[in-house]
Amino acid sequence: MQYRGENSTSASETAAVFTRTLAGLKRRGSGLLLVGPQPAMDEACNRFLGESQTEPRQRLLVRTDGENHHTHAACAGLGSATDCTSGSNDGTTKVIERVTHTRGAAMASNAGYEGAGTDTEPETTVLTSRSLPRLGITISEVIDEFDRECGGLESGELRVCFDSLTPLLEEYDQESVFRFLHILTARIRHVNGMAHFHLPAEMDSTIINTLAPVFDAVVEVRTTGGLAEQRWQLVQQDVTTDWLSL
């Protein structure tokens, strides 16, 4: 790994800060802003959702981008039938689908009721309301369900993917989205969960600078020579890594 720094000493210090901070984020919970193009963003997303071979992962996927939501390969085969207390390490996947009233009504009708799920498909809550507070409440309710079903969530057990902030920024002013994210990330950190939020924007854009203070880190991704890379900007520490392999 290489880190930004004018000399080996500063690079070493930066590496130490990054390693220490990363360990703290996994322990205390975190909110990450994921910036960049697909497919690098998808690869980072699956990495952040975490593997579930050695320890359980309770995954919440918040879909705001209609048919363009991510496939989440890390969640393949995980549905609502897996019990936190069954001894399985697979965990559970739940989905909140924020849609238009017309499409939402059709989906709710096909599902039978909001929150319908099968043994092979994640439990899905269809949210037809366009209200930001309603979206936040719904996410919080699902987190409460996870916490209750598991008898308390372990550090890093809850993984949340918010598949796109773009629709919210198109519907609401930046201040409203900032407040929404501030409250939501605090709620996720309260159960030591780890969340990442997709935003396909330029790293030096105004919107990134505006929203960055809400998050623990801004993670920029790219594909170079067929390989996906990541670069972390730790917000509180004002530390930026060099490009690292994903």
pLDDT score recorded for residue 246: 87
Angstrom CA distances, 40 to 54, 70, 184, 225, stand at: 25, 12, 25, 12
Is this model's pTM higher than 0.85 or not? no
Tell me if 91 sits within 8 A of 84, measured CB to CB.
yes
Q: Is residue 158 part of a domain?
A: yes
Q: Is residue 15 part of a domain?
A: no
Which two tokens mark 96?
A: 């909140």
Distance, in Å, from the CA atom of 200 to the CA atom of 80, rounded to the nearest integer, reads 30
Q: Is residue 175 part of a domain?
A: yes
Distance, in Å, from the CA atom of 181 to the CA atom of 143, rounded to the nearest integer, reads 15
Range of the domain at 233: 30-68+75-245
Q: In the chain, which residues have pLDDT < 70?
A: 1-9, 51-53, 66-90, 100-120
Q: Is residue 238 part of a domain?
A: yes
Q: What is the CATH number of the domain that holds 103?
A: 3.40.50
pLDDT in tens, 95-110: 999 985 444 444 444 4
Distance, in Å, from the CA atom of 158 to the CA atom of 92, rounded to the nearest integer, reads 10
